Amino acid sequence: MSLYGELANRLREHIEHGFYKRGDKLPSVRQLATEHGVSISTVQEAYRVLEMERLVEARPKSGYFVPRESTNDRLPETSRPPQRPLEVSQWEQVLNLLSNRPANTRIQLQHAAPVMIGNTIKPLLKSLSELHRSRPEWGLGYGDIRGHIDLREQLSRLAVSSGCQLHPDDLVVTSGCQEALSVCLRAVTEPGDIIAIESPCFYGAMQAIKAANLKALEIPTHPEHGISLEALELALDQWPIKAILVTPTANNPLGFVMPEDKKQALYKLAQQYDIAIIEDDIYGDLTYEFPRPRSIKAFDNDGRVLLCSSFSKTVAPGMRVGWIAAGRYRDRVTHIKYVSSSMCPTLSQLALAKFMRQGGYDRHIRKMRTLYADSRDHLLEAIQRHLPSSTRVTRPAGGFVLWVEFAPEIDTVALTEKAQNKGVAIASGALFSATGKYRSCCRLNYSDQTPVLREEGIKILAELIRTEYPGAYS
Amino acid sequence: MSLYGELANRLREHIEHGFYKRGDKLPSVRQLATEHGVSISTVQEAYRVLEMERLVEARPKSGYFVPRESTNDRLPETSRPPQRPLEVSQWEQVLNLLSNRPANTRIQLQHAAPVMIGNTIKPLLKSLSELHRSRPEWGLGYGDIRGHIDLREQLSRLAVSSGCQLHPDDLVVTSGCQEALSVCLRAVTEPGDIIAIESPCFYGAMQAIKAANLKALEIPTHPEHGISLEALELALDQWPIKAILVTPTANNPLGFVMPEDKKQALYKLAQQYDIAIIEDDIYGDLTYEFPRPRSIKAFDNDGRVLLCSSFSKTVAPGMRVGWIAAGRYRDRVTHIKYVSSSMCPTLSQLALAKFMRQGGYDRHIRKMRTLYADSRDHLLEAIQRHLPSSTRVTRPAGGFVLWVEFAPEIDTVALTEKAQNKGVAIASGALFSATGKYRSCCRLNYSDQTPVLREEGIKILAELIRTEYPGAYS
């Protein structure tokens, strides 16, 4: 047996026999190397094996830990959406969610808004303020419809971290990721076409599918590995699917990061059936693992991947700055972007370009990554402590939303309304499927509340469930 | 004969016999009333008659004048586009125009960008700067997808000046008028539908028609009175037209203001055939006549008019703030706006709301209106002085673009390229028709050059024409 295999066995025994308890910090790599007389890389390899078995977890800047709970047995199962293309509905419910103003809400677990306070965002706000003071005229005229060259240069540099070689001319700046997705959908389809999506799926993407007169075919999706390639291949055989839209890196709402070999296999499948992939990477820079995993776009050698992203989750949605790397569809994407909203505001682009150039963006996301990883653990603990033991929950590898699956009798559409009356906002799972499925699920945001408020929100949900569904706690 | 009729006759004689010469200021209303012993309103009525005959013109704040030239005989004729629905082409040429950076251009007559310097725009820039300094956090989060309530309130107040009674909830804020048009087209049509438009027509609207998979049916349009209702009615009888898209007030590119009774008749026609009207009012506040004429939306009593506008021509395109009053289509418009680009940046909306509330917007457009009216006269003089006598030209009643029709042998597509090499940018007429018609026409902007540069630009065009088409000056 290899050295790292032996070490892994020994650590596994210690964990399983309770020598290291849930939540415990494990010895550092250096410490173990000294104790066992092995190399640093042997210890790292041993930890990698245990991480894959989910017996240990790495936390940025903190080291290795025994996970606070073994979530394997409480994970939702792979989703089972209906296997036929459907028209998207649920607009009324989405509008309700969007219209829900913060004033009515004391504990906001509903909107996927990032943390927007703190020192690391200040340099950006300062640049914006300075530009508006000293160069207001730069913000007035028409600019390049593809986006300001300074920003596109920085974006092409950033793309390297996800394994992409992009030229500034490969990029088109958009009004956030919502416009990016909408433009890409229109660029690769004609009305009536079928788009394959993950299930559950971000409601904004589904509403864009609806508005472009397309049909959504939801594919079974594993809560930790992403879209089922087997199910996707079956669907590709059966239906004339025009494109696949996925959020493979820090998925919304499930939180998974699709393994890189699976990303590559998805790309190969798209090649084999000659269809486009629209890759929503909006949470990609917020994976807790560092360096961040590669995007599907990194494997794209024939230009069929349209990568969409924005600063809405990493920095602030109010910036309204996103982008598309559209590969072979670039010209069509440029056309649709122009007719959709012409150019984007210049000063926001310039301020973001400076933020990136001076390292402020990297500093900011490093801090956010750690913050969100900690907040995830807090929320998972609160869920374990207060919600019924039948509750299943995902364990995100990035971003700041997770997915809760209650017992089938619990209706989150009704629960959402009742919770709102008590000042707690959640997003019902019904928004995340074309069919209104997932009525017993919900998405919870864990970005910008304090741990105390977050736990209080979960307690209020728990009380409501106890009242409405007394059987859930029996 | 009525008193005002007699007075009008006397003034007409004076003008026709050269007692008052071209460009002369006419006596003030008060002066004439005293001289002729009639009431103020009698003089006003007499002037109104002569204005309708185009023998005198009113200039804001300056009084009545004999027009610098009698343009009646040099007006282009009513356009004669092909009377069948067509797919829009010309994207390559539009992209060329959009990609034409100011750095390459000494004399910019091509882009329809407003004047963005001067004292009256400063309060807006100051607010923007102050907001970014003191309230940066307001710019970060998600806002109301319909737009900020402060701005919608001001917009509903502004609408009164064009004869509309709108509630803030009737309005949806957009990323400029381009998004407004694009959203409205998608809201009232399905792919394959036919849209009736003026001919020539703004290229951005036509490209939005193309991107929405619609067909354009160009309707003959008079250079002073707008779309031909007779031709439109024939087309409505013949084709299943889904909506009419028009720019009736300070039209781009022709510059006309459609008379109010004709606006009302157009509305009745839409009612009779039960179709929607998309009204592009982007230049509406820049008519030289004050108070500004009513919009078609003012006559809308069953919600079939979707009014689109923005601050791009009145204030600055870089603001990227527009709006839609969509009548009965409001909910569908809100949906498509949401999927298209989610919400609009908050601080720009707040700064514009303050600018309007404090009277800054009114002051600014009053100044711009006078400035553009004067610039129109300068440009018309330069055209008359230098371009071939066969040249026909419109005489805009608002905005800051006019339409030039050369002799048929002059090809403005070639001319545009040659002029660009000499540092003069113009927009070929070929961009303004789905068919690439109007190759012997061009649109000229008269907003932001000095009179000297403007005349120099026209001289350079004249020289080119003299070289390339020697017959034009014979």
Q: How does pLDDT run across B180-204, given as a tens digit for each residue?
A: 999 999 999 999 999 999 999 999 9
Please answer yes or no on whether B341 and A182 come within 8 Å at the CB atom. Answer: yes
Q: Span B150-158, mean pLDDT? A: 98
pLDDT at B69 over 70: no
State how far residue B15 is from chain A, nearest Cα, in angstroms: 43
Find, among A22, A107, A129, the residue nearest to A71 by Cα: A22
Joined together, the tokens standing for residue B455 give 């005349």
Better-scored residue on pLDDT, A323 or A60: A323
CA atoms of A422 and A441, how far apart (whole Å): 19
By Cβ distance, the residue of B137, B142, B178 closest to A111 is B142
Task: Tell me if the bond preceding A223 is cis, omega within 30° of 0.
Answer: no
Query: Which residues of chain B make contact with A116, given a CB cutoff of 8 A?
Result: 137, 140-141
By Cβ distance, the residue of A117, A175, A210 closest to B175 is A175
Strand ranges (E), A281-338? 305-310, 322-325
Exposure on the CB side of residue A426, measured as CA atoms within 13 A: 31
Residue B315 near residue A187 (C-beta atoms within 8 A): no
CA atoms of A431 and A93, how far apart (whole Å): 7
DSSP state of A86: B
Identity at A436, one-letter amino acid code: G
State how far residue A470 is from chain B, nearest Cα, in angstroms: 37
Longest dimension (CA), chain A: 69
Exposure on the CB side of residue A106, measured as CA atoms within 13 A: 12
Cα dist. B413→B110, B382, B438 in Å? 13, 22, 10
CA atoms of A464 and B264, how far apart (whole Å): 57
3-state helix, strand, coil in chain B (%, to 5): 50, 15, 35
Please answer yes or no on whether A137 and B145 come within 8 Å at the CB atom. Answer: no
State how far residue A205 is from chain B, nearest Cα, in angstroms: 8
CA atoms of B15 and B13, how far apart (whole Å): 5
CA atoms of A370 and A259, how far apart (whole Å): 21
C-beta neighbour count of A396 within 10 angstroms: 30
By Cβ distance, the residue of A133, A145, A340 closest to B182 is A340
Please answer yes or no on whether B116 and A132 come within 8 Å at the CB atom. Answer: no
CA atoms of B209 and B94, how far apart (whole Å): 14
Exposure on the CB side of residue B205, measured as CA atoms within 13 A: 31
How sure is the predictor about A101, in pLDDT bands with cuts at 50, 70 and 90? Answer: low
Classified as helix, coil or strand, A200 is coil
Identity at A27, one-letter amino acid code: P
Joined together, the tokens standing for residue A420 give 């709102």
State how far residue A30 is from chain B, nearest Cα, in angstroms: 42
Cα dist. B34→B24, B39, B51, B363 in Å? 20, 8, 21, 32
CA atoms of B268 and B369, how far apart (whole Å): 31
Residue B313 near residue B114 (C-beta atoms within 8 A): yes
**What is the CATH class of A121-361?**
alpha beta
Q: Span A414-440, mean pLDDT? A: 94
pLDDT at A354 over 70: yes
Q: For A429-447, what is the HEC assignment?
A: HHHHCCCCCCCCEEEEECC
Residue with tokens 């009216």: B373
CA atoms of A350 and A163, how far apart (whole Å): 25
Identity at B456, one-letter amino acid code: E
Question: Residue ranges of the alpha helices (H) in A248-329?
Answer: 260-272
Please answer yes or no on whether B344 and A213 come within 8 Å at the CB atom. Answer: no
State how far residue B236 is from chain A, nearest Cα, in angstroms: 25
pLDDT number for residue A82: 87
Which tens digit of pLDDT belongs to each residue from B212-258?
Answer: 999 999 999 999 999 999 999 999 999 999 999 999 999 999 999 99
Rg over CA atoms, chain B: 22
pLDDT number for residue A445: 97
Query: Which residues of chain A make contact with B95, given a CB cutoff of 8 A?
Result: 334-335, 338
By Cβ distance, the residue of A138, A142, A207 closest to B111 is A142
CA atoms of A175 and A103, how far apart (whole Å): 26
Q: Span A103-130, mean pLDDT? A: 93
Joined together, the tokens standing for residue A139 give 């913000």
> Cα angle vertex B175, ends A140, A132, to 5°?
30
CA atoms of A422 and A416, how far apart (whole Å): 10
Please answer yes or no on whether B318 and A142 come within 8 Å at the CB atom. Answer: yes
> Cα angle vertex B46, ends B40, B48, to 5°?
100
CA atoms of B347 and B355, how far apart (whole Å): 12
Which tens digit of pLDDT belongs to each residue from A277-296?
Answer: 999 999 999 999 889 999 99
Please answer yes or no on whether A207 and B145 come within 8 Å at the CB atom. Answer: no
Please answer yes or no on whether A316 and B129 come within 8 Å at the CB atom. Answer: no
Joined together, the tokens standing for residue A370 give 């750690």
Q: Are strands B392-393 and B401-405 parallel, antiparallel or unpaired?
A: antiparallel
Find, among A191, A92, A175, the residue nearest to B331 by Cα: A92
Please answer yes or no on whether B316 and A141 come within 8 Å at the CB atom. Answer: yes
Residue B232 near residue B212 (C-beta atoms within 8 A): no
pLDDT at A448 over 90: no
> Cα angle vertex B135, ends A146, A361, to 5°?
50
By Cβ distance, the residue of A208, A316, A345 closest to B140 is A316
CA atoms of B322 and A403, how far apart (whole Å): 37
Please answer yes or no on whether B342 and A176 come within 8 Å at the CB atom. Answer: yes
State how far residue B23 is from chain A, nearest Cα, in angstroms: 34
Q: What is the CATH number that goes with domain A72-81+89-115+363-473?
A: 3.90.1150.10
pLDDT at B102 over 70: no
Which tens digit of pLDDT belongs to each residue from B439-472?
Answer: 999 999 999 889 999 999 999 999 999 999 999 9
Find, among A255, A302, A298, the residue nearest to A279 by Cα: A298
Query: Which residues of chain B make contact with A348, given a CB cutoff of 8 A?
Result: 345
- Kindly tell me the burial class for residue A418, based on how many C-beta atoms sit within 10 Å of its own C-beta (0-12, 13-18, 19 or more): middle
Please answer yes or no on whether A340 and B341 come within 8 Å at the CB atom. Answer: yes
Please answer yes or no on whether B208 and A339 come within 8 Å at the CB atom. Answer: yes
User: Of the ranges A17-31, A189-203, A226-240, A255-269, which one carries the lowest mean pLDDT score?
Assistant: A17-31
pLDDT number for residue A474: 78
Which tens digit of pLDDT belongs to each residue from B330-356?
Answer: 999 999 999 999 999 999 999 999 999
Please answer yes or no on whether A175 and B117 come within 8 Å at the CB atom. Answer: no
Q: Span A123-145, mean pLDDT? A: 94
Q: Span A224-253, mean pLDDT? A: 96
Averaged confidence pLDDT in chain B: 93
By Cβ distance, the residue of A116, A141, A207 closest to B141 is A116
Residue A406 near residue A443 (C-beta atoms within 8 A): no
Query: Which residues of chain B make contact with A344, given a CB cutoff of 8 A?
Result: 320
State how far residue A103 is from chain B, nearest Cα, in angstroms: 12
Q: Which CATH number fits domain B89-115+363-473: 1.10.150.530, 3.50.50.60, 3.40.1180.10, 3.90.1150.10?
A: 3.90.1150.10
Q: In terms of CA atoms, which chain A residue is nearest residue B315? A: A140
Residues near B130 by beta carbon (within 8 Å), at least 6 away in sequence: none
- Kindly tell me the burial class for residue A327, based on how many C-beta atoms sit within 10 Å of its own C-beta (0-12, 13-18, 19 or more): buried
Please answer yes or no on whether B143 and A318 come within 8 Å at the CB atom. Answer: yes
Please answer yes or no on whether A140 and B174 come within 8 Å at the CB atom. Answer: no
State how far residue B120 is from chain A, nearest Cα, in angstroms: 14
DSSP state of B63: E
DSSP state of A190: -
pLDDT number for residue A16: 77
Which tens digit of pLDDT belongs to each residue from A45-81?
Answer: 889 878 866 788 888 888 899 887 655 558 898 998 9
pLDDT number for residue A60: 80
Please answer yes or no on whether B340 and A117 come within 8 Å at the CB atom. Answer: no
Give the CATH architecture of domain B3-65. Answer: Orthogonal Bundle (1.10)
Joined together, the tokens standing for residue B40 give 């103020």
C-beta neighbour count of B64 within 10 angstroms: 22
Residue A254 near residue A78 (C-beta atoms within 8 A): no
DSSP state of A25: B
pLDDT number for residue B17: 78
State how far residue B459 is from chain A, nearest Cα, in angstroms: 27
Query: Which residues of chain A make contact with B129, given a CB cutoff of 8 A?
Result: 129, 132-133, 136
C-beta neighbour count of A243 within 10 angstroms: 22
pLDDT at A33 over 70: yes
Cα dist. A116→A226, A313, A319, B144 in Å? 29, 10, 11, 18
> Cα angle vertex B118, ends B115, B120, to 5°?
100
CA atoms of A61 and A68, how far apart (whole Å): 18
B contact test, residue of A339, A343, A431, A447 with most B CBs within 10 A? A339
pLDDT number for residue A73: 59
Torsion of CA B51, B57, B63, B65, to 10 degrees: -120
Q: In terms of CA atoms, which chain A residue is nearest residue B128? A: A132
Residues near A107 by beta carbon (within 8 Å), at least 6 away in sequence: A423, A424, A425, A449, A453, A454, A456, A457, A460
Query: Which residues of chain B make contact with A138, given a CB cutoff of 8 A?
Result: 318
Q: Where are the domains of chain A?
A: 3-65, 72-81+89-115+363-473, 121-361
- How many contacts does A have with B, using Cβ atoms within 8 A? 179
CA atoms of B65 and B50, how far apart (whole Å): 11
Q: Span A183-200, mean pLDDT? A: 97
Please answer yes or no on whether A340 and B336 come within 8 Å at the CB atom. Answer: no
Classified as helix, coil or strand, A401 is strand
How sure is the predictor about A268, in pLDDT bands with cuts at 50, 70 and 90? Answer: very high
Q: What is the CATH number that goes with domain B136-359?
A: 3.40.640.10
- Kindly tell me the burial class for residue B305, based on how many C-beta atoms sit within 10 Å of its own C-beta (0-12, 13-18, 19 or more): buried
Please answer yes or no on whether A335 and B128 come within 8 Å at the CB atom. Answer: no
Residues near A335 by beta carbon (within 8 Å), at least 6 away in sequence: B91, B95, B207, B210, B211
- Give me the residues paired with residue B108 across strands: B425
Query: Which residues of chain A make contact with B213, given a CB cutoff of 8 A?
Result: 190-191
State how far residue A428 is from chain B, nearest Cα, in angstroms: 19
Please answer yes or no on whether B339 and A132 come within 8 Å at the CB atom. Answer: no
pLDDT number for residue A374: 94
